[in-house]
Amino acid sequence: MSTIKDLLSGFNTDLQNGLKYNLNKGKKLVGCVYPVYCPEELVTAAGMVPIGLMGSETRLSEAGNYFPPFMCSIVQSICEDGIQGRLKDLSMLMTPTVCDHLRALHQNFIAAVPGIPVEAIALPLNREVGGAVTFLEKRHKKLAAKLGEIAGITITDDMVREAIEVHNEHRAAMRDFVAVAKAYPHLISATDRNRVIVSQNYYDKAEHAAMVRELVAACWKEDKSSWTGKKIILSGVTGSLNRFVEILDENNVAVVWDDMLEGSHQFLRDVSLATGDPYRALANHFIGSEPSCLLYNPKKERGIILGGIAKDHAADGVIDIQITFCEPEDFDWPTMLKDLKLAQVPAIKLEMDLQGANYGKIETALQTFLDTLSESSVTA
């Protein structure tokens, strides 16, 4: 047990420590806002380290000069961190322009934080139109050339292929980790699960995969024990709010799966190298992304898929975490809730803000939700 706790404590979740750690290894760093939608493999191919950025609980002070108050706390806190000099060690920042708030971040970061080159990752949100793959392939090739300039190298196709393999190995390790977290909730708490997921933002992927593999191997040696608390699935953009995951632990809640953009969406599927062309592989991977609030999906299947996942994982219910002012999540919720109800999966939406949610209210809402979950609500 102590080995597992020791291994868990080795996963860094602090941005500043992560930047310093990689800089001390002589690495150049590239910030990847919403890493799930950034081609991080190209950064790895250039010999640099992708640093995932999903906002922080930093206090907002200057970002308000660049954003109206109704912009979400993820984009505001990334800009604030930039203004306060906390991102000064980045050689470049990549911002996928997948929602209005992220589009504003791209523009405003350029104005607010001169000195860090910012590259927009323009993604074809309608993935069904012809030409979406070709468009993305061409964009990624241009991006690789820019990253190569920063790194002082020419990125070859073989380098990209090798990087994809490294990232796929990391994805496989993370899939094993979430399986272990589900099997051993008495050893891996919601806080621990969150720690390992967040920490992937701050390490070279090969190094992180090795750390995760060691943790997973140590867990499998332990005895399983039955879980008497509730089992839930987290959905949304990010659930990486320290106090929120503590509340889950205090209420004996195990996270048996997640449908988070900062979570399983990052490692659920490998990038397939079947076509042989690494740029086409990266483009195809994005085109085949799972339904999320940020990607156009006329069938609105997120709730249907989530209902199936809840049954597969014998979950008692779904908690959808909504970041305040997040319109994409807000638009998805009514359809999701309807489909989850049809699937007889209890669900609740909890609204949070990175800069200080009303955790008293959240805890009360969570406890009320847990009380309503009957033992037989979902069967395996």
Return the DSSP state at 188. Answer: S
Q: How far is the CB of 365 from ligand SF4 (least distance, A)?
A: 20
In this complex, which beta carbon is closest to ligand SF4, that of residue 110 or of residue 151?
Answer: 110
- List the x/- string, 113-152, binding to ligand SF4 by CB under 6 A: ----------------------------------------
Token digits of residue 76: 């505001």
Q: Which is nearer to ligand SF4, 204 or 332 (CB)?
A: 332
328 binds ligand SF4 per the rule CB under 6 A: yes
DSSP 8-state assignment for residue 347: E
Q: Are 100 and 263 in contact (CB under 8 A)?
A: no
Q: How far is the CB of 104 from ligand SF4 (least distance, A)?
A: 9
Query: Which part of the chain contacts ligand SF4 (CB under 6 A), choosing from 79-87, 98-106, 133-141, 146-154?
Result: 98-106
* Cβ-contact 233, 312 below 8 angstroms: no
Query: Which residue reads 């990847």 in tokens?
Result: 32
Decide if 166 contacts 205 (C-beta within 8 A).
yes
3-class SS of residue 377 = coil
Q: Among residues 41, 90, 101, 188, which is the contact residue for ligand SF4, using CB under 6 A? A: 101
Could you tell me the smallest distance in angstroms from the CB atom of residue 329 to ligand SF4?
6
Q: Determine if 29 is a binding residue for ligand SF4 (CB under 6 A).
A: no
Cβ at position 240, least distance to ligand SF4 in Å: 12
CA distance 220 to 216: 6
Q: Which two tokens stand for residue 286?
A: 């994005």
Residue window 50-79: x/- pattern of binding to ligand SF4, with contact defined by CB under 6 A: ----------------------x-xx----
Residue-wise over 266-287: b if at least 16 C-beta within 10 A, else e? bbeebbebeeeebbbbbbbbbe
Taking the least distance from each CB to ligand SF4, the nearer of 43 and 102 is 102
Residue window 210-249: x/- pattern of binding to ligand SF4, with contact defined by CB under 6 A: ---------------------------x------------
The interface region with ligand SF4, picked from 176-184, 304-312, 327-335, 341-349 by CB under 6 A, is 327-335
CB atoms within 10 A of CB 26: 7
**Contacting residues for 251 by C-beta, under 8 A, at least 6 apart:** 229, 230, 363, 366, 367, 370
Question: Is residue 11 within 8 Å of residue 207, measured between CB atoms?
Answer: no
Q: Which residues bind ligand SF4 (CB under 6 A)?
A: 72, 74-75, 99, 101-102, 237, 294, 323, 326-329
